């Protein structure tokens, strides 16, 4: 996997276009003068969380006795589920929490909407399969995070331009692309697992 493929994969997993309606809804009751500051804060927190799992993912895997093939298979399954939800979206208001009228902090914007389980699993998979390329994965992560941040920063404008159907169409297209990546990751994990017993 090269840097561009890794960046595209992470971008698709973060799904900023699909998260636009949730971000707008969560920040709706926040004072307009505070919205951008809150959004920047949440994006930075999400970045810090992703950095932690990128650099310490191997240690976490070792502590939990998780093998590379099992993480690859699990990551493929998770990405496949995420891609299916992108193609057939179901939005849960539970992500917003019970106090949607208060200023969000960490949950749900930073976690799980930006640095969600699938993003974390993907980063851990990258760092475990090629730990010597951690700087490449760092660059890919920063590219994906930056593009996602720009999209979410201008979420109000993008919703007005593309409207709900346009955003839904783009999300479904990204879901189709992510499906192929998920299947490839799953097959790679199975191949690595079978190779251990040859």
Which of these, 115, 118, 117, 137, lies nearest to 128 by C-alpha position?
137
pLDDT in tens, 42-84: 999 999 999 999 999 878 878 878 777 887 788 788 778 877 8
pTM greater than the 0.85 cutoff: no
Q: What is the mean pLDDT of each run of 10 residues along the chain (198 residues)?
A: 91 87 80 89 96 88 79 79 78 45 79 84 86 94 96 86 80 82 84 81
Rg (CA), the chain: 17
CB-based contacts of 166, cutoff 8 Å, min separation 6: none
Which of these, 139, 144, 137, 131, lies nearest to 46 by C-alpha position?
144
Please give the Cα distance from 101 to 122 (Å, whole number).
32
Q: Is the dihedral of CA 90, 93, 97, 101 positive or negative?
A: positive
Helix axes 3-14, 117-129, angle to 10 degrees: 160
Half-sphere exposure of 72 (CA within 13 A, CB side): 21
What phi and psi, each to the nearest 5 degrees, are found at residue 196? -65, -20
pLDDT in tens, 100-110: 446 888 888 89
């Amino acid at each position: 996997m090269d840097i561009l493929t890794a960046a595209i994969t992470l971008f698709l997993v973060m799904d900023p276009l699909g998260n636009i309606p949730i971000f707008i809804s969560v920040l709706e009751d926040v004072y307009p003068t505070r919205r951008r500051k809150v959004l920047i804060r949440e994006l930075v927190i999400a970045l810090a969380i992703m950095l932690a799992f990128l650099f310490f993912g191997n240690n976490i895997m070792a502590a939990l006795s998780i093998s590379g093939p099992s993480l690859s298979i699990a990551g493929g399954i998770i990405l496949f589920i995420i891609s299916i939800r992108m193609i057939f979206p179901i939005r849960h208001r539970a992500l917003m929490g019970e106090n949607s009228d208060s200023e969000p902090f960490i949950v749900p914007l930073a976690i799980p909407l930006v640095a969600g389980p699938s993003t974390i699993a993907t980063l851990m998979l990258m760092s475990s399969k090629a730990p010597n390329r951690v700087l490449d994965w760092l660059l890919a992560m920063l590219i994906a995070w930056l593009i996602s941040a720009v999209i979410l920063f201008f979420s109000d404008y993008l919703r007005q331009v593309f409207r709900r159907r346009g955003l839904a169409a783009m999300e479904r297209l990204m879901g189709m692309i992510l499906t192929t990546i998920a299947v490839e990751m799953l097959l790679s994990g199975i191949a690595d697992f079978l190779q251990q017993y040859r």
